[in-house]
Structure 1
Amino acid sequence: MLALALPAFGALVAEPLFVMADSAIVGHLGTPQLAGLGVAAALLQTGVNIFVFLAYATTAAVARRLGAGDLPAALRQGVDGIWLALLLGAAVVAVVLPAAPGLVGLFGASEAAAPHGVTYLRISALGIPAMLAVLAATGVLRGLQDTRTPLYVALGGFTANAGLNLLLVYGLHLGIAGSAWGTVIAQWAMAAVYLTVVVRGARRHGAPLRPDLAGIRACAQAGAPLLIRTLSLRAVLLIATAVAARLGDADVAAHQITLTLWSLLSFALDAIAIAGQAIIGRFLGASDEAGARAACRRMVQWGVLSGAVLGALVALVRPVFMPLFTTDPSVVDQLTPVLLVVAVTQPVAGVVFVLDGVLMGAGDGPYLAGAMLVTLALFAPAALLVPVLGGGLTALWWTVAGLMMGTRLVTLWLRARSGRWVVTGAVRA
């Protein structure tokens, strides 16, 4: 579990460094450029993150076939997932290029920032097919129990991205366009490395490389429930941000800082979930029901322990963490109790992430989609009532970290206890 989870965590953390590097470099061009980048980056991240099922569904399907001892079929499944990613990427590009001005406008970019946002968005959109192919190929390698290669590729991509941005922005004086082109080049280079690894493996084991419509359709069908799950989770976060904005400037500022920490904690816990996807898929593919159940129990223990450790760290480092983002007393006053809410609920989050990964590894996407829709249905009215009932940011975060995550815990725990996710064989019937 650790051999899979630790490199996975490194790869997950390396991905946000792309945006951080771009922000640091573009920030010295001026405030309008940085504001434009902020809007464009938010749009790009949303557009890519909703397709994260390309990694999750592929991991589970490949791991099952690997467990069944059919490596050529595992690689063929992975190739189909990559073809689906490229097709989806091309479709997204076709939408984003003409719609870029309207999309930037929807985010309320100023007249000074909007042109920079449009420039960055249009150029960076050319890297979306590569980004989606990287997601799918990462899923292939995770399914094959290899999380080290994604770590190395992510670190190499980050280094190339930073170097290219510095060269194109300041060396060739291309401005924000240079930053976008540097990122696109780095993303396609990462995709090329992944494709080389997968193609070599496919050729070595006799797996076909040509597009297979039936296989691509099967990948899309397997990923559709996870897409619903992801969209529902995104809706939860958007509702929370909208409610925080209604509470006041200090509240929304503290909310944004808390979300930043929440995302970092999620990366750590998601690494365990990724290990769970790969391990559970392989056990079920090998028709080892006892091994799958034992792995689930062990990973739940890891989830509780990891959540407890992360929660304790959050509580301890609060005095150091808050000054890194703000010195405004009103924001600090809001942050202090909210971060305690995050800290005490981390053991719950740890179990939720682990069980999410277990059920993904089992290919139990339809249940995950339904459970997340139930969670959204309970969370939305509760969150919207917070300002109506006179609650503040702390109350809002109890609905996020308490109600939302608690509901997910109940739904996932009930499914795990039922054993209905334990469906063995190379393909989930």
Structure 2
Amino acid sequence: MNDNGNPHLPVSMTDGSTRSWSTGKWKMPISIFFRDARLVFKTDALGMEILQIAIPAAMALAADPIASLIDTAFIGRLGPVELAAVGVSIAIFNQASKITIFPLVSITTSFVAEEETVGRLGSEPNDDVKVVKEPTKNNELEEAVPDDVGLEKLENGAGVSRERKDPIQDDDSNTAMLVAPVVVDVGSKSNKEKRHIPSASTALVIGGILGILQTLFLVFGAKILLGFMGVKSGSPMLNPAKKYLELRALGAPAVLLSLAMQGVFRGFKDTKTPLYATVLGDLTNIILDPILIFSCHLGVSGAAIAHVLSQYLISLILLLGLMKQVNLLPPSMKELQFRRFLKNGVLLLARVIAVTFCVTLAASMAARLGSTPMAAFQICLQVWMTSSLLADGLAVAGQAILASAFAEKDYSKATAAASRVLQMGFVLGLGLAVVVGVGLRFGSGVFSKDDNVQNIIFIGIPVMPS
């Protein structure tokens, strides 16, 4: 509501006029897609803030699929059967992971950004100005610094005191009592002091629990799940697929915890720390792949072990970095926000199930066609996922900026950020369509030398970029 109680939010336009967006129905007009479209490439303050968050986030998000592409290239050297088997296992693992990962990371990012902004605003002096009383012989004089003056002083430095130029004379004495009201920055803290973010602790607890449950589910249900995907008992894909899935499942707790911590860092608008951790972990995976797959003759098991070790390394790096900034242990269990996470995660969970179900169904149908179509499908899927995740960097930036803007009640910035992110996403999508189409046409041989596999990939090229 505005000052008059009207449930409309005034938004400043570029021509100086204002426009009211209705929030009562939680709907935005279609013109939001075209608002200030000419600024889509402008590197103003908002554009730079989006890019500074989005670029490292996109690189971090793309790092794991790129590592998976390299996995696919190494496994493809073992043969189409092994490649198809790993493709089925990865589809199952991704389906189980994404159901929990997307809601957890998205909610964590929003909640942490909101709590961090509210905490920062709460630490800034506003009404936290204390009144200092100095007694005189006959009465008590008190004076408080006005809010606007106190805030101006605190912006220049906390703990500033102001003295009156005219001393106050007592009626019965020539002694002057100097009244010195002191502005106290109640919220000022040491920069080295750790922050207490309840949603961060909650996210780690939920991530750990979900990771353990996912491991148990995939290990003990591997054969049943593979059968559901079309890998029957007599299939040559069954044994390598089962080995890969069971070993890969051991890394589920690390995957959930690392992504929960990435959500915390994103809430802080820090996407560089997750990038460094992810790149280091994926480089470890790439180095271990040929050693374990070929030198140690472990085959698909070696690929799974390399991936699991890299995920635990990423989790360890992020945990050490997070412990320097946040008190991860809450004062009491009551501060954990399980109900809040569950309440806001239901709709996101339904969305993710619907999206990943389509991908899993497609993988199941490809597996039923045989190892060659499944191998081609796995290559196309990995390329598509890698390119699509680049756009998620913009989503991360938009999410963090919007959460902070709403916490600050800066609705004009929220509207501008939403418009800019949508427009940048559209432009990025057009560019990725061209890159994916051309790249697959001339680079599919990197993933498989089988002519039949490449022919099926060429058939899917017109569909994938769209």
Q: TM-score range by the shorter chain?
A: 0.5 to 0.7
Distance 1:74 1:103, change over 3 A: same
Deviations along 1:130-171, one digit per CA (max 9) or x if unpaired, are 101111111100110011111111111111112233333334
Q: Map 1:79-228 onto structure 2 (within 5 A).
A: 79-109=201-231, 111-203=235-327, 208=330, 214-228=336-350
Match of 2:114 among 42, 64, 68: 64
Is there any run of 5+ residues in structure 2 with no aligned partner, and where? Answer: 1-49, 124-193
Higher relative contact order (CA 8 A, sep 6+): 2
Native 8 Å contact 1:4 1:146 kept in 2: yes
Do the aligned partners of 2:210 and 2:253 also contact (CA within 8 Å) in 1? yes
Q: Is the 8 A contact 2:255 2:311 kept in 1?
A: yes
One-letter amino acid of the counterpart of residue 288, structure 2: L
Compute the TM-score of the two structures, normalised by the length of structure 2: 0.63
- Give the aligned residue type for 1:46: Q
Question: Which structure carries more helix by proportion?
Answer: 1
The whole-number CA distance in structure 2 between the counterparts of 1:97 and 1:120 is 10
Q: CA deviation at 1:179?
A: 2.6
**Deviation of the 1:8 alpha carbon:** 1.0
Larger deviation: 89-98 or 64-73?
64-73
For residues 366-403 of structure 1, the C-alpha deviation after alignment (integer angstroms, 9 at most, x for no partner) is xxxxxxxxxxxxxxxxxxxxxxxxxxxxxxxxxxxxxx
Alpha-carbon separation, structure 1, partners of 2:284 and 2:203: 26
**Pick aligned residue for 2:93 from 44, 52, 56:** 44
Q: Which digits, 9 at most, give the CA deviation of each residue in 1:224-274, with x for residues without a partner?
A: 221111111223445667899999999999987765554344222211111
Is residue 54 from structure 1 mapped to residue 104 from structure 2 by the alignment?
A: yes
Which residue of the partner structure matches residue 84 of structure 2? 35
Which amino acid is 1:4 matched to? I
Moved more, 302-311 or 320-329: 320-329
Gaps of 5+ in 1: 343-429
**How far has the Cα of 1:285 moved from its partner?**
1.5
Aligned equivalents of 1:272 and 1:239: distance in 2? 28
Q: What TM-score comes out, normalization by structure 1 length? A: 0.68
Query: 1:94: how far off?
Result: 1.8
Partner residue of 2:394? Answer: 272
Aligned partner of 1:12 in structure 2 is: 61
Aligned to 2:152: none
The letter for the 1-side match of 2:318 is Y
Cα distance in 2 for partners of 1:290, 1:119 equals 53
Over alpha carbons, which structure has the higher Rg?
Answer: 2
Q: 1:5 to 1:250 in 2, by over 3 A?
A: same
Distance 1:111 1:201 in 2: 51
Q: Structure 1 counterpart of 2:117, which letter? A: G
Alpha-carbon deviation of 1:86? 0.5
Question: Which residue identity does 2:112 align to in structure 1?
Answer: V
What is aligned with 1:362?
Answer: none
Q: Deviations over 1:177-235 (max 9, x none)?
A: 333222222111111111122222123xx862876584233223322221111111223
Q: Compute the RMSD of aligned alpha carbons.
A: 3.6
Q: Amino acid of the residue matched to residue 69 of structure 1?
A: G
Cα 1:190–1:209 shift into 2, 3 Å: farther
Give the conservation status (yes or no) of the 8 Å contact 2:92–2:360.
no
> 2:375 & 2:295 partners in 1: Cα distance?
35
Q: Give the secondary structure class of the aligned counterpart of 2:298.
A: coil
Residues 309, 37 of structure 1: alpha-carbon distance in 2 compared, 3 angstrom cutoff = closer
Aligned residues: 339
Change (3 A) 1:317 1:117: closer
State the distance in 2 between where 1:321 and 1:119 align: 29
Task: Tell me the CA shift for residue 296 of structure 1.
Answer: 1.5
* Distance in structure 1 (CA, Å) of the matches to 2:455 and 2:315: 45
Greater CA drift, 215-224 or 68-77: 68-77
Taking the aligned partners of 2:263 and 2:420, their CA distance within structure 1 comes to 23
Structure 2 Cα separation of the partners of residues 245 and 181 of structure 1: 24
Q: Which moved more, 1:330-339 or 1:100-109?
A: 330-339
Question: Contact between 2:198 and 2:336, CA under 8 Å: does it hold in 1?
Answer: no
Write out aligned runs for 1:241-280 (5 A): 259=381, 262-280=384-402
Aligned CA distance change for structure 1 residues 335 and 181 (closer, same or farther; 3 Å)? closer
CA distance in 1 between partners of 2:364 and 2:235 (Å): 23
Q: Distance in 1 between matches of 2:216 and 2:377?
A: 34
Alignment correspondent of 2:20: none
CA distance in 2, matches of 1:188, 1:101: 25
Structure 1 residue matching 2:119: 3-state secondary structure: coil
Is the 8 Å Cα contact of residues 63 and 278 (structure 1) preserved in structure 2? Answer: yes
Which structure's residues are more often strand, by fraction?
A: 2
Q: Which amino acid aligns with 1:77?
A: S
**Aligned pairs for 1:262-301 within 5 A:** 262-301=384-423
Secondary structure of 1:283's counterpart equals helix
- Amino acid of the residue matched to residue 228 of structure 1? A
Q: Separation in 1 of the partners of 2:96 and 2:419?
A: 35
